[in-house]
Amino acid sequence: MRPNNPTTSTHVIQKMANSVFVYGSLMAPPVVQELVGRLPPSIPHPVRLWGHSRHPVKNQAFPAVIPAATANSNQQQGSFVDGMIWCELSDWEMKVLDFFEDVEYQRTKVQVEPLSQQQQSSSDDDDATTKKTLLEVDAYIWANPQSELELDKDWNFEQFSSLRLEDYLQNTVRPYRAEFDRLEKEEQK
């Protein structure tokens, strides 16, 4: 049994409106700044999404997250994805992210565990149950067929940042933002 698995502990759910768990290209501040026009506040420590796995999308610079139980590979029960949370996004900024993530992903409520939290024991409980705070936020979960993923691989943020970020900004992020702006102007007419 995993000691850090939230399902083996008592936990408190803290709902965070207009906050999003990111695990791929959206962890890069330049990507988020280019998309929403500012760098929103973030949780100052990493968070973990249990029961999911992250894989590269075939022939793309970005990854996808899927529930581990649905992966067509040897995913262990203890699968998790580490990432971060962008907070205090406006409804308009969430709309920009929805457009950027397109139909390949579905925005879904998830519960993530802050990795820096100190485990506290309940002194009122004879069993000294571990209490954990889980944060309920949005996340973009892969909605396309898993055949489009490299299920035998994990995606590496450091490699993305050092080898692909500039190209990704130029050839993916900026064109998506320009198309969003164009559609917004047409909608306002």
Active site residues: 101
Closest by CA position to 23, among listed 76, 100, 74, 80: 80
Query: How far is 78 from 45, CA to CA, in rounded Å?
Result: 21
Query: Is-contact 149 57, C-beta < 8 A?
Result: yes
Q: Which residue has the tokens 């559609």?
A: 183
Q: Where are the beta strands (DSSP E) in the chain?
A: 10-22, 47-50, 52-56, 63-67, 80-86, 105-114, 120-121, 130-142
